Each structure stands twice: as structure tokens, then as C-alpha cells.
Chains A and B, each alone.
Chain A
Amino acid sequence: MGGYLTQLLAVADAELRKLRHDPWELASRAIQPVLWLLLFGNVMARVRGLAPQSIPYLDFLAPGILAQSALFVAIFYGISAIWERDLGVLHRYLVSPAPRSALVSGKALSSGARALSQAVVVYFCAAAMGVHLSLRPTNVAAAILLIALGSALFSTFSLIMACIVRTRERFMGIGQVLTMPIFFASNAIYPVALMPTWLQILARLNPLTYEVDGLRAVMLARGSSVFGLTRDFTVLAVAGIAMIAVATRMYPRMTE
């Protein structure tokens, strides 16, 4: 068991060390959520009836943008897995005695940790724009956990896609195609209640919806959750474990 954790953390640690060698990647990721808040947020804030009565639209939007920016990074994670396969680095992992689930979970964990940099940026930017944030330690911790879970889930989903499509070119196409529906069929920028029924059904099947829903409750001073935090965490955890279980079966076959 201790061995399993050592191997899992070894994978995550290697990923995070790479990030430390190339901090530009982090910086470039910070730009997108800031632009969404600044440009999209400020315009849409003028539209009446988009957010629930109780909070201003910018408050409503900030958790959505945080989840979205983490999603956009996680969903392209598969590219780096294909890249590692093409280079040969993947062999280094797969020929080791580490259980395949430890390798996949380690990658997922690193992706969750990476997303935290975006959380920092969005918190600062939102605070500067007058969003009423909650900085209670338990709330911040819950927000961190939600973002990490969401990123782990979507990056593992992306890894599964990479195992299926197998080439970078095809993955680029798929990545674009997947991001839009996951993003728009969710409550990230408008409430589920505004959607036509068929889209509401999709939104309720979409883990991003639960990530955003949970974030609204814990990030905002006057926020609340539609589904309840228990449901939000449960959906994310169960979906994440399911993804890891599937990826554990598929990932080793990438060397074939």
C-alpha cells in the first residue's frame, strides 16, 4: 500500500517538476480565464435575468469560468500522453512494476494540482472585479478539492480519448469537438433552468455541471448549490473513479 502511494506520487511529482522547469506554461494558462471574466463577464452582466436574483451575474460567472478554464486545460491532456508514447517516454512508465492504476491516478493527481494555479488567478481576478468571494478556509479547501476532482476526471477522460484515437492529429480534432458541448451543456455561464428540456437532461448528465454547482456554493459569499454539495462531490468522485478504472485498462495498450 505504501508502495502504491510512492509510485502514484512519483508520477505526479515528475509532472509537477516539469511544470517548475517551464513556468511559462502556467502563465499562459492564466490569460484565458481573465479574458473571459473581463470581456464576456462585463458584457453579459448587463443582461437581466441571466443569474438568480440573489447574486450579481459576475458572481454567478466566476465559478463557471474557473471550472471552464480547468476543463480546457484538462481536456487536452491526452495530447501529452500521445506525445509521450511517440517519444518513447511512455515505456519508462509501463515497463516499471508500478500498478497501472497508480500510473493513471498519478497523472490525474498532477492534473488536479496543476489546475490550482488557475484557481489562484481566478480568485484574484474575481476579487479585483468586485465579486463577493468567501475566503473561509473550509470553503477555499472545498473549492480546491472540487477543482482538483474535476481536473483529474476530465484529464483522465482525455487520456481515454487518446487511447482510442491514438494520433495527435486526430486528437486535436476530437478535443475541439468535445470541449464545446461539455462547456455549453453545463451551468457554467447560465443556469440549467434557462435551457430547453433536452439540454437540461444533458447538463444533468455532465460532471462539469456538478463541479460548477459545488464551486458556486463554496467560492461565493452568498452562493448556494442547486443540487447540494454531497451530490456534487459524489458525482465527481464516482465519475472520476470510473474514468480511472477505464483508463487503467486502456493506457497499457498504448505501447502496442
Chain B
Amino acid sequence: MTVIGTDSPASGGLAIETFALSRRFGALTAVDGASLSVRSAEIFGLIGPNGAGKSTLIKMLTTMLPPSGGHATVAGFDLRTQAGQVRRHIGYVPQLLSADGELTGYENLLLSARLYLVPRGEREGRIRQALELMGLTEVRDRLVRQYSGGMIRRLEIAQSTLHAPSVIFLDEPTEGLDPVGRHAVWLHIRDLRARLGAAVIVTTHYMDEADALCDRIALIDRGRILVTDTPTALKRQIGERATLDDVFAQMTGQAQEGGNYRDVRRTRRAAREHA
């Protein structure tokens, strides 16, 4: 398999660097002075309760939402002044459904290939390769609204990585999937890192998943990054045989619950549409 090169400028090996990044919605501060750095080819987990600000942080880093304060570089480009360059070098699978149900899998990929200006001569080859990698070749001409949740997630990952991005954002890519589907997504995330050398930023509510998959994890609560470290180091801080669940409970001061009506409505709806 060929490794498709990316032309992102050297940035000291850092895929992402943020300095006191904030976002307010009226009186609510959804992200409060987040500073973090993600190395290239790193799988970086964002965990935290519902409404912690994970998606808001990702939306800012993908240029979908302007920050209220602070600044950041993504793939070596400044978030505020070089948004176009940032978009060229990232892939983003949002928490909500983003594949178009009224199009076939192939058509969704074709749309992405064209939007990202994959050279005409390479389009079909890359689409075919992506369909094969994601196990979607058989269903390529079926409308996506007939796909299962796992198939849709895999298609979305394929769509957002056709252009060989150097930084990939996956917002709850395994939400609503059965164990087999979840496992397939893990494998694809590892494969993307190996194949593209890409940094992968992933959010999840499954602590076992974060533990198994991520090189490092940032724990977010009420907009603030509480701690950033490797899963092993995080667990060691808490105790001898602690799990990441224990870390979560202790640091956020709660078992996993919370979130307001808006959060629940959004996640439930997304889950249903994936079903």
C-alpha cells in the first residue's frame, strides 16, 4: 500500500497546538482556556461528561466555530488567519450524521473527492481503495439511508480521509455502534495513523476504548482541561488497580451522568439516525 504524502509544513512535529482557547455561548463558557498540544501520528483522546465542551473544542479546531479567545495552530497553520489551509489538511467526522442519506456511498465519496480536489485521475482509484478498506464495496451503490450505523460511520471516516489529511478529528465515532462495529472503527483509526502518519483526535464516552486506543488523553470538565497524560500515568495517579473509569469519576467528581436536555436531545437523535 502506498503512503500518500501530505504537504503540511514542519511545525516541530506538532499536529495541534492551542493556547488558552475559549468559546462562550452567552453566559456559558463551553470551552475555558484550553491549552494542549497533539503530536503528529498520535492518537489523542478527549474525554469528559456530557456538555464538557469536547465537541465545541473540536468545532473550533476544525474552523466550524470561531473562538471567543485564545489561538491555535492546526497542521501547522493558524486557525484564525489560515482557515482555508487548515481545512485542506484536516479530516473531520462530526458527532452528528454527516454522510448524505439521499446519496449512495459511492456518490458521497465522489462528492468529497471533488470538494477536496483529489486529482481527477486519482479519484476513482482512491474511492475504490477507500471502499475496500472500509468493507463497503458491496454496498457502494446503495443509498446511505439504508446503511447500518457501523457502515455509515465507516463511510464517514472514508469520506473525511480521502484527501490524506495530516490531522483527523473523530467526534464520538463509536457512539451507538455494537461491539463489532466499535472494534472495526478502532482498527481503522490505528490504520489511518499507520498509513497516513496522521494525528487522530477522538472523543468517546467509553473509558475502556480510550484506554486501549489512545496514546494520550485529555480529561475535560465544564470547559476546562483538568489533566493531560497517558492512560497508564492517569491510572497510576489514582491507585494501584485503578481503571480509567475511576480516573473519570474521581477527577470530575461524578460518575458518568449529567448533560442538559439539549445534549441528550442531540446525542439521542444522532444515535437514532445511525440506527
Q: Are B103 and A18 in contact, with the CB atoms below 8 A?
A: yes
Q: How far is the CA of A6 from the CA of B59 in the complex (A)?
A: 26
Q: Are A7 and B96 in contact, with the CB atoms below 8 A?
A: no
Stretch at the interface among B12-20, B87-95, B186-194: B87-95
Q: Are B115 and A88 in contact, with the CB atoms below 8 A?
A: no
**CB of A22 within 8 A of chain B?**
yes
- Can you show 15 pairs from A to B with CB atoms below 8 A apart? A3-B117, A10-B114, A11-B115, A22-B102, A87-B101, A89-B99, A92-B99, A94-B64, A95-B63, A95-B64, A95-B87, A95-B90, A96-B115, A97-B116, A255-B65
**CB of A26 within 8 A of chain B?**
no
Q: Are B112 and A96 in contact, with the CB atoms below 8 A?
A: yes
Near A by CB (< 8 A), chain B positions 46-78 give 59, 62-66
**CB of B124 within 8 A of chain A?**
no
Q: Are A92 and B102 in contact, with the CB atoms below 8 A?
A: no
The residue from B97, B104, B110, B114 contacting A7, defined by CB atoms under 8 A apart: B114
The residue from B88, B115, B117 contacting A93, defined by CB atoms under 8 A apart: B115
With A88-B95, A89-B100 known, 8 other A-B pairs at CB within 8 A are A7-B114, A7-B115, A14-B107, A87-B101, A88-B97, A92-B100, A92-B111, A95-B90
Instruction: Kindly name the residue among B84, B111, B159, B270 whose own CB sees the greatest number of chain A CB atoms within 10 A.
Output: B111
Near B by CB (< 8 A), chain A positions 37-64 give none
User: Which residue of chain B is the closest to A253 with respect to CB atoms?
Assistant: B66
Q: How far is the CA of A17 from the CA of B100 in the complex (A)?
A: 11
Q: Report the count of interface residues on B (CB-CB < 8 A).
A: 35
Q: How far is the CA of A28 from the CA of B143 in the complex (A)?
A: 22
Q: How far is the CA of A22 from the CA of B145 in the complex (A)?
A: 13
Residues of A in contact with B (beta carbons under 8 Å apart): 3, 6-7, 9-11, 13-14, 17-18, 21-22, 87-89, 91-99, 255-256
User: Which residue of chain B is the closest to A93 with respect to CB atoms?
Assistant: B115
**CB of B209 within 8 A of chain A?**
no
Tell me how far the C-beta of B40 lies from the nearest C-beta in chain A, rounded to whole angstroms.
20
Q: Are A10 and B87 in contact, with the CB atoms below 8 A?
A: no
**CB of B273 within 8 A of chain A?**
yes
Q: Are B87 and A91 in contact, with the CB atoms below 8 A?
A: no
The residue from B64, B102, B103, B270 contacting A91, defined by CB atoms under 8 A apart: B64
Provide the residues of chain A in CB contact with B65, threshold 8 Å.
255-256
Those 4 A-B pairs whose CB atoms lie nearest each other, nearest first: A88-B96, A10-B114, A96-B115, A97-B88
**CB of B98 within 8 A of chain A?**
yes
User: Which residue of chain A is the closest to B270 with respect to CB atoms?
Assistant: A88
User: Which residue of chain B is the closest to A10 with respect to CB atoms?
Assistant: B114
Q: How far is the CA of A99 from the CA of B64 in the complex (A)?
A: 14
The verdict on A97 contacting B87 (CB below 8 Å), with A10-B115, A87-B273, A88-B94 known, is: yes
